[in-house]
Amino acid sequence: MGTRKISSALAAGCPVVVKPAFATPLTMPVLEEAGVPAGVVNVAPSKSSGKIVDAILHDPRVRVVSFTDSTEVGRTLLKGAADNIVTPAMELGGNAPSIVCEDADIDKAVEGAILAKMCNIGEACTAANRFFVYDKIYDTFAEKLTWRMGSMKMGNGLEEGVEVGSLVNAATRNKVIELVNDAVERGVKVLCGGAVPEGPGYFYPATVLGDVSPDSRCVAEEIFGPVAALQRFSDEEEMISRANDTEYGLISYLFFGEMKRGMALCERLEAGMVGRNPGLVSDPAAPFGDVKQSGIGREGSHEGLKEFQETQYVSVEW
């Protein structure tokens, strides 16, 4: 996360102060080891995030605040940035829909769904949460996805063949448990997973929930874990409405066959990015960013560089 922001800032000629996440304080000092001159990237790890960030935002030398995390925290930072008119670049939460149309290649859609859902075992703002599958192919897709996710080996990441490691902390796993339990109470079918394993660590198995109720919490909230929530659709207008029915607008995934119709659907999705058949969309050459309450601005490409630049107009009498 840090390199996405720092690289653009340095390319624009801006030194930076970076506060790494509390759980990953050792990710930033490697920049000095890589040869970045002293004083150009200044690392400020802290347990008191609120105090240190408040001090940074109210220092007159600070011109841009670039942040990746939840929408809730982003709102707080935007309020603090307003005092000194600090330019915000916010990459916030997501609740990505993944839509499987009736003419999609089901096998490719399943593999794309695995990539979109299980990258970082779901601990990513770009992770697919809500899967909308056309009714006539729903059962086949659900069966194949359940087999793929149910066969994933869970364990210590140093062990051979492990595909599902531990979640980052207890709070993250507890929220996943709450969301799954809420769905089960509403009559959802647990097609695989759904049970906390015994032993140390914050493990949770790859889980598929079938025929999820639209009022389930896992539909409205970011899951941030290895849980795929499946819903059926038969009416295209209703599906688009349900896919856009969220405060978030980071990314959507769309699996289809016929190009013209698929591109028309892409244009109707309220998202800063759309994955058309692939399950991974991030690319350093492409602008990464959001609409609605998923954030402000872009990272990557020329757009990401512009976040750390200002346009100056000079009028000259020749």
3-state helix, strand, coil in the chain (%, to 5): 40, 20, 45
Annotated catalytic residue 125: yes
- Which long-range CB contacts under 8 A does 68-75 form with residues at least 24 apart? 68/1, 68/4, 68/5, 68/92, 68/125, 69/21, 70/222, 71/247, 71/248, 71/293, 71/294, 71/295, 74/295
β 273-276/251-255 pair status:
parallel
State which H helix or E strand residue 115 sits in. helix 106-118
| CB contact set of 125 (below 8 Å; sequence gap of 6+) | 68, 91, 92, 93, 94, 222, 250, 294
Catalytic residue among 91, 222, 299, 307: 91
Classify the C-alpha dihedral 236-238-242-244 as positive or negative: positive
Annotated catalytic residue 111: no
| CB contact set of 200 (below 8 Å; sequence gap of 6+) | none
Q: How far apart are CA 184 and CA 314, in angstroms?
A: 63
**Nearest-CA neighbor of 138 among 101, 180, 193, 108?**
101
Cβ neighbours around 45 below 10 Å, total:
17
Q: How far apart are CA 306 and CA 14, in angstroms?
A: 12
Catalytic residue among 101, 125, 192, 218: 125
Q: How far apart are CA 21 and CA 73, in angstroms?
A: 13
**Nearest-CA neighbor of 204 among 229, 228, 177?**
177
The catalytic site residues sit at 91, 125
